[in-house]
Chain A
């Protein structure tokens, strides 16, 4: 039998923040509330004759808990300690005498400090969930659309739960308003939990007129202010979305409503997803919804067995087989091609998954990593458990350290290093993860940067028009000069990524204080004179910037191709091209 522990006898709030974020509005002596709905669609307790305060009062001084972010540490005092697979060094650039290779997956030897958790008890969330538990809400029925939203909350064991639906939606909705400002009433005391407008609209949509509806809604079923509970429950979202009988994709209030209101119907029309392909305009309109730009929905739809898209008053049903017949891969949301497939990358390819989803948006930048861990099979993702007590700097420097030191993806990470753009904000060897840039993790093995230049430079530029003639400006007799691309030969192979051809560096480590990556690199040359800017070259792959310096009788040409989107999805490539900007240190 399910461990049903509804919040019928909540304890008193244990933290002052409860007063701000969740409110019990009864008299303290009221033990048996009798709730009636007033004509103004607000609840009223007939037992203690109390009414909830106005929303504006509840919101006064209330920080946006959904957007809280820990401040990043100062460079030089990063205190890196995550993920557990990493072993950082504390001494500057000097490995200890007993330094050894990075720990193997499964070796939890690092000190992964647990978060303090913060306030976690309230009249709504009476206790922190155990590791084998999760919550569901039961949306109370109402035939009136303007009736206040009331939910009952219950806790279940992971292997003992009723059939439920999981909801996929965005907190901010179409307008991106993530402010919790709509009261949702919980339990027999009708305790108030503020939710965003879009969440409230979703709850109104799913509310049945005559029966309860069990749902899993992340903003409510996880105590968002309890960091420890979040750290446990967010990895469990993988199984929560896998084991629900279907996922309801709520695209937003405006996208949900059809051209004709649903007044004549109690329930929406239901159609197979293939009907969307018949109506290209409708499909495009649906996919252009803000909903599909959000990161968490990727996981929710990829993991689901059965998805229902609510669009213009119609529910489109999809699962892996039927979704495969829709050409999502050429749509604005190409990752929908993975709908129902449970994964979007090969085993342990976290970098690949991040490259695919890096431009998706999320309120908490750390979720760009935490939100995709469930989409990658393999032990690496399992070992990398979310820890919301870490700053984004600690999370991403830790993650890329893991990629370099443990997985050996040195080239792939350094190929996307932020360089001087990250001066003072992050180590220069780490790719950017800022919300402006997105996470660009171009796979150099598929791009063959410079090959086109190399090919063109090798052609007979004396007899044919050559777009690179200007490269030879300043050379005395350009017909007797040639440019050769300097590359350590490697061949990309469909099956064998080039970095796998090279052995894992034997001495490679990251300093926990300053994030310095110590490793062996091949020194090609230094230069001691002024660079010449050779201008830009545009080709089908994007923009290439060339510059050079003189070294004795020869010149070194450096090609700085800023096209970071090549090789990514078409959707990503639609994004505006951002040229690399090198700032003075």
Chain B
């Protein structure tokens, strides 16, 4: 008899996780939460039905990651640049200054790669990813400069996305997981939403070209006030996560597709820290949706990792950290966490509990 077969003689064994990649097979000794380690495991796999796409493609084709999405959807044309301002403080034509991502790559390779590993585990560092990373890095740099109150040095957040594939961005809620939902692209880059975030989390707002007299800002303020809404992630229609405020109004409701139009979005300049928050919210949302549609475990997404970064004081100031904390549900900030909806039929609760290991 194989030694491992002996384990099956017992019906009191459990799998616990002591941290990333450290699963333990433990035997329950009594009702006082006392266990013994049977053996440390090195992997736990779940074999389950593969999700099928509408066109019948098999799971192996659906098993994607964000980097693949970027590589395959014209995002290689993504070009970002920090904004330039005239002596009077006006924004120069943002489309002139096209950043050379490779030059940036050469300068910041090490940092970029590290950040890349944080955000995209397992994904190869490609030219497609680097500009995005570079934007984050730029944000960090500009944030640092911001300490010197050089208010003109804010990264331009989005203008490069005008080069995105229109069909890709404007496609409706496709059942094809290869396509990120258009709503979330707009969600992330809608000026009003950015302003909403900035207003509530940073307490300051940078006016952009589309709002030179501040009238839209006043309108937003009158709408939302200055109180910090209690945001929470909610599941909706069994599939989508939407960001909602106290009144139950989703951000998408505030920003209907008809009035936004990705290609009509003006250049939006936000503070560097807001770029970080927004970008990571975007990635979190996108990544979560894609993973969920693929039936994969959201687990620790980019936002979690951002939180870890901030927790280490590596990049962002405390305000950003607090902002991230306020957006995430408190349970998600546990060191180790699975959303409870992951594998519910297996009795997975994902909740840390106190045990005594004898």
Where the two chains meet, the residues of A that have a C-beta atom closer than 8 Å to any C-beta of B are 93, 410-411, 414-420, 423, 427-429, 444, 448-450, 453-454, 457-462, 471-472, 475, 479-491, 493, 495-496, 498-503, 507, 511, 514-531, 533, 544-545, 547-549, 551-561, 580-585
Binary interface encoding of chain B residues 33-63 relative to chain A, with 1 for a CB under 8 A from any of its CBs, else 0: 1101111111111111110100000111001
Chain A CB within 8 A of B184 CB: no
B17 touches A559 (CB 8 A): no
28 pairs, CB–CB < 8 Å, chain A vs chain B: A415-B18, A419-B37, A419-B40, A444-B21, A481-B48, A482-B47, A482-B60, A483-B45, A485-B44, A486-B297, A488-B299, A490-B300, A500-B312, A511-B356, A521-B18, A521-B353, A522-B334, A526-B13, A533-B5, A547-B7, A549-B8, A552-B346, A559-B41, A559-B43, A582-B3, A582-B6, A582-B7, A584-B9
A560 touches B352 (CB 8 A): no
Q: How far is the CB of A465 from chain B (nearest CB, A)?
A: 15
A459 touches B44 (CB 8 A): no
Q: How far is the CB of A533 from chain B (nearest CB, A)?
A: 5
B34 — which chain A residues lie within 8 A by C-beta? 93, 516
Look across to chain A and name the residue whose beta carbon is closest to the beta carbon of B42: A449
Of the stretches B70-78, B114-122, B189-197, the one at the interface is B114-122
B45 touches A557 (CB 8 A): yes
A459 touches B60 (CB 8 A): yes
B15 — which chain A residues lie within 8 A by C-beta? 523-527, 556, 558
Q: How far is the CB of B224 from chain A (nearest CB, A)?
A: 33
Complex CA–CA separation, A554 to B347 (angstroms) = 12
Given the interface pairs A482-B50, A531-B4, A555-B46, the reply to whether A524 lies near B17 with Cβ below 8 Å is yes
Q: How far is the CB of A126 from chain B (nearest CB, A)?
A: 48
Complex CA–CA separation, A414 to B16 (angstroms) = 11
A516 touches B356 (CB 8 A): yes
Partner pick for B42 among A450, A501, A531, CB 8 A cutoff:
A450
A525 touches B345 (CB 8 A): no
Complex CA–CA separation, A296 to B17 (angstroms) = 37
B24 touches A521 (CB 8 A): yes
Look across to chain B and name the residue whose beta carbon is closest to the beta carbon of A515: B358
Complex CA–CA separation, A459 to B117 (angstroms) = 22
Residues 106-162 of B at the A interface (beta carbon under 8 Å) = 114, 117-118, 121
Partner pick for A501 among B23, B28, B308, B354, CB 8 A cutoff:
B308
Q: How far is the CB of B218 from chain A (nearest CB, A)?
A: 42
Chain A CB within 8 A of B348 CB: yes
B63 touches A458 (CB 8 A): yes
Partner pick for A524 among B36, B44, B52, CB 8 A cutoff:
B44
Most chain B CB atoms below 10 A, which of A410, A488, A527, A557:
A488
Given the interface pairs A462-B58, A486-B297, the reply to whether A530 lies near B8 with Cβ below 8 Å is yes
What does DSSP make chain B's interface, helix, strand, loop or mixed? mixed
A518 touches B58 (CB 8 A): no
Most chain B CB atoms below 10 A, which of A458, A482, A527:
A482
Q: How far is the CB of A88 from chain B (nearest CB, A)?
A: 14
Contact size class for B? 35 or more
Complex CA–CA separation, A530 to B19 (angstroms) = 26
Most chain B CB atoms below 10 A, which of A461, A475, A521, A548:
A521
Complex CA–CA separation, A503 to B308 (angstroms) = 10
Chain A CB within 8 A of B2 CB: yes
Of the stretches B86-94, B166-174, B255-263, B335-343, the one at the interface is B335-343
Look across to chain A and name the residue whose beta carbon is closest to the beta carbon of B342: A486
B45 touches A453 (CB 8 A): yes
Most chain B CB atoms below 10 A, which of A490, A500, A515:
A490
Q: How far is the CB of A578 from chain B (nearest CB, A)?
A: 13
Binary interface encoding of chain B residues 306-346 relative to chain A, with 1 for a CB under 8 A from any of its CBs, else 0: 00100110000000000000000000001111100001011
Q: How far is the CB of B214 from chain A (nearest CB, A)?
A: 42
B343 — which chain A residues lie within 8 A by C-beta? 525, 554
B354 touches A417 (CB 8 A): no
A454 — which chain B residues lie within 8 A by C-beta? 43, 45
A559 touches B352 (CB 8 A): no
